[in-house]
Structure 1
Amino acid sequence: MKTLNQMMPFTIIMLYRLISVSMVTSSFCPRLESKLVRRLLNKEIIPFYQQFNAVIPHSCPFSPSRDIYGYQEENKFEESATKWVCDFCGKSFYEERFLDQHFDNRHPETKREVCVT
């Protein structure tokens, strides 16, 4: 069985092939693509690290703690198929996309550093 150090280069290469990371300043970061990449990271990559009791360091662009929309996604609540709630202020919306717009307009300070798309 390979050790974490032996598997690390493979993991990094795989990540860079699947995801191109761009630092966000004023550039556009597509929310839908970020959601897909986040799902991939949560399903495939993070469990790999957890298997070895390792964590992705904050300095890594793939760290969940740096994901531009990660904090907002953690603060979404789907109460029903037609009711999405903002956990920051309690406002509710009929569709998730309206909640996303609300985050952009009313809670822009909740964005983090890196766009993972």
Structure 2
Amino acid sequence: MSSRREAMTKTCWDLRAHVLISLALVLCLSSFTACADKFRVSEERQRQLQEEKGRVHCSRSRSRTVRAIVSEYLMPFVKDQKYTLPKTCRLHPDNDVYHEQEENMIELRPMQWQCGYCKKIFRNQGFLDLHFDNRHSEKLEPSSNSCLADACGALHCDYYNSLSSKPQIQATCKLAVVEKNRHSCEVLANTCFPADHSPAAQRLNHFFKRQFCDAHTCKKKLKIFPSGSGINRNKSLIYALTLFTVIVLAIFYAILYLIKRDTNLLRKGLRRASFRPPCKVQKE
């Protein structure tokens, strides 16, 4: 009886030992899994931080708007003065983080764009933008002053984008924002066109402030881009007028040709009639 009790006690202790060992193994396994997950999350976080560090935080669309404004409302006047933007100017192409990629963005025809690096074809510009971000990010050269989108406030990007919408949206004038944009605009004018650099730079400095900076005010309504566009925005109208002129000239010369041809035929007929011998009348 005593030996049987001892055997049962030993069995109970063995079961307890197995349970404790199993619990210890489960705890160790859970701890190991948690550590592995924590390490994996930490590694993933480090990878994300590395990607964030190398990623360019600059709006491509707003940079494109600034580029369009500069190309249309500034550079034609700069070229007229035979002036070259200094490298210190934020609007210089070398200070545009997307400049090289934009040069390799080829519009073959409407709804068809091509990557200049790998020659792939895309249905719209948005897909090509994503392609550049994912496949050709090494072509970017980010620097502290390379984001053209930062000049959006100074150069009236929102107004420029609203030109295509009817009616134009009238935003509430906020004095703090206006003063900040005016200051940024004047800094651009003074760094891109130093007044003491040359007579051309002085003229362009005044032009830039009149074209872009003076409208940054809440006191009175001033026209934005008062000097207008340096290039003709109505290219389609020019093409239509050119085509109309060509058609009118073609019709005019066709009518002239027909008149000349009929005149020549009439002259030949008269000439033949004059040389024809008179008909003799037979007497009965």
TM-score above 0.5: yes
SS at structure 2 position matched to 1:97: helix
Structure 1 vs Structure 2 CA RMSD? 1.7
Q: Which runs of 5+ in 1 are unaligned?
A: 1-24
Q: 1:84 aligns with which of 94, 110, 113?
A: 113
Q: Which residue of 1 aligns with 2:98?
A: 69
Percent sequence identity is 35
Letter in 2 for 1:43: E
TM-score (norm 2): 0.31
Q: Which residue of 1 aligns with 2:148?
A: 116
* 1:31-110 matched pairs, under 5 angstroms: 31-110=60-139
TM superposition shift of 1:27: 5.3
- The count of aligned residue pairs is 93
The answer to which structure has the higher strand fraction is 1
Q: Which residue of 2 aligns with 1:18?
A: none
Q: Distance in 2 between matches of 1:65 and 1:27?
A: 16
Letter in 2 for 1:56: L
Q: Which residue of 1 aligns with 2:167?
A: none
TM-score (norm 1): 0.71
Letter in 2 for 1:90: K
Q: Which runs of 5+ in 2 are unaligned?
A: 1-53, 150-284
Q: Distance in 1 between matches of 2:56 and 2:116?
A: 26
Letter in 2 for 1:77: I
In the TM superposition, structure 1's runs of 4+ consecutive aligned residues that sit over 2 Å from their partners are none
The answer to which structure has the higher helix fraction is 2
SS at structure 2 position matched to 1:57: coil
SS at structure 1 position matched to 2:62: helix
> Which protein is bigger by CA-based radius of gyration?
2
